[in-house]
Amino acid sequence: MPLPILALAIASFCIGTTEFVIMGLLPEVAADLGVSIPSAGLLVTGYALGVVIGAPIVAVATARLPRKPVLVGLATLFVIGNLFCALAPNYWLLMAARVFTAFGHGAFFGIGSVVAASLVPRNKRASAIALMFAGLTLSNILGVPSGTVLGEAFGWRATFFAVVGIGLVSVAAIAWLVPSDVAEPSGGLLAELRVLGKLQVWLAMVIASLASASLFAVFTYIKPYLTAVSGLSTATVTWVLLLFGAGMTIGNLIGGSLAQWRLMPTVIGTLFAMALMFVIFAKFGAIGMVAIAIVFLWGMLIFIVVPPLQIRVIEAAAEGPNLAATLIQSAFNVGNAGGAWIGGLAISWGVSYARLPLVGAALALLAVAAAVLLESVDRRTVPQTRPAE
């Protein structure tokens, strides 16, 4: 791994841990701050909304600034935000600190992916992006479980102090290892805004939202599914979720490699496989080992599409890629929130946990349709403007 991309991966590990570790600490946070566990759960929602709202604001505000100082600044924002989380004396200040921290999330991954792609030859760009995102996926295997154990042993604030330490390492690594003249902005804010008029950019975002929604419509309720339908114990579910994180890591690296071979066919084929996996889950999910295998494959499939979609947006928005590459991170988070809402709505309308994967299958097929449309638009585009596949 090139050292500048390693620096970005360390920061993405810190960001991923920040985003997800709160899920394993909800009882401790709720008890300490005197709120209910559902109220503590809104800290997850608040972070997601911070990503969606903050990403375009930060991208626009930094459009003319050199990329390296922006990345250092965003990594520093995460250090400060996590420090505020660790010191927050009450629930609402913790919520405010979470939202503040999330403002840098989408912009970091958007700008970071542009920087990572600029550090390698054109035919290695997707793999470079996948390597940067490897930090995010590894956070679900290493950062979140370790942070949960630390929080249970020494209090949830200790976890956030630990993330502050990792964040400081990432700030130093970016400042030291990332070249000063990397991926300098050329067209400024107008160029960044102009590329948003391209259909390919918006279709990539629609695909990202639908793919993410298809997963979270089911994955949000995976614990009751695995215990009530598959008959697994609560302790087993914890290990299954770690397996999901392992699948994410493997899928991310596979997606980076496949995108260099055939970009949009990789996206289309993977999304169709996701839809098929949901149907199999609905039919055979009561078998514990089948359910465990499917959760692993879910994690792998959803992250296979991340590097191709990220590089697709960067290629489509070549005249001003930073805003578009940032907005696709918002699109994934819109899918996270929307999928959870759709799944909850389906349950409230009487859909059983056993049939809930069919909702995910429907959303995945919509994503396939959007991907096929994007491929069709690409084929009608002048060859010089099409991304290398």
Residue 238 amino acid letter: T
Provide the pLDDT for residue 211. Answer: 93
Q: Is 116 exposed, middle or buried (0-12, 13-18, 19+ CB in 10 A)?
A: buried
Task: Retrieve residue 299's tokens.
Answer: 């994690």
Task: Quickly count helices (H) and strands (E) in the chain.
Answer: 18, 0
- The span from the first CA to the last CA of the chain, in angstroms, equals 22
Q: Hey, is 255 helix, strand or coil?
A: helix
CB atoms within 10 A of CB 212: 25
Give the model's pLDDT for residue 389. 43
**Both structure tokens of 54:** 């903050």
**Could you tell me if 178 and 7 are in contact, meaning their C-beta atoms sit under 8 angstroms apart?**
yes
Contact call for residues 343 and 166 (beta carbons, < 8 A): no
Give pLDDT, residue 145: 81
| 2 close to 124: Cβ distance less than 8 angstroms | no
**Identity of the residue numbered 229:** V
In the chain the domains, ranked by start, together with CATH numbers, are 3-185 (1.20.1250.20), 192-385 (1.20.1250.20)
Residues 97 and 81: beta-carbon distance below 8 Å: yes
- Say what the alpha-carbon torsion angle 43, 46, 50, 52 is, to the nearest 10 degrees: 120
Rounded to the nearest 10°, the torsion over CA 233, 236, 237, 238 is 130
- Predicted pLDDT of residue 185: 58
Q: Where are the alpha helices (DSSP H) in 178-233?
A: 188-194, 199-219, 222-228
Ranges of residues in the chain with a pLDDT under 50 are 382-389
Tokens (6 digits) for 211: 């793919």
Three-state secondary-structure class, residue 109: helix
Task: Tell me the pLDDT tens digit for each residue of 252-267.
Answer: 888 888 877 788 899 9
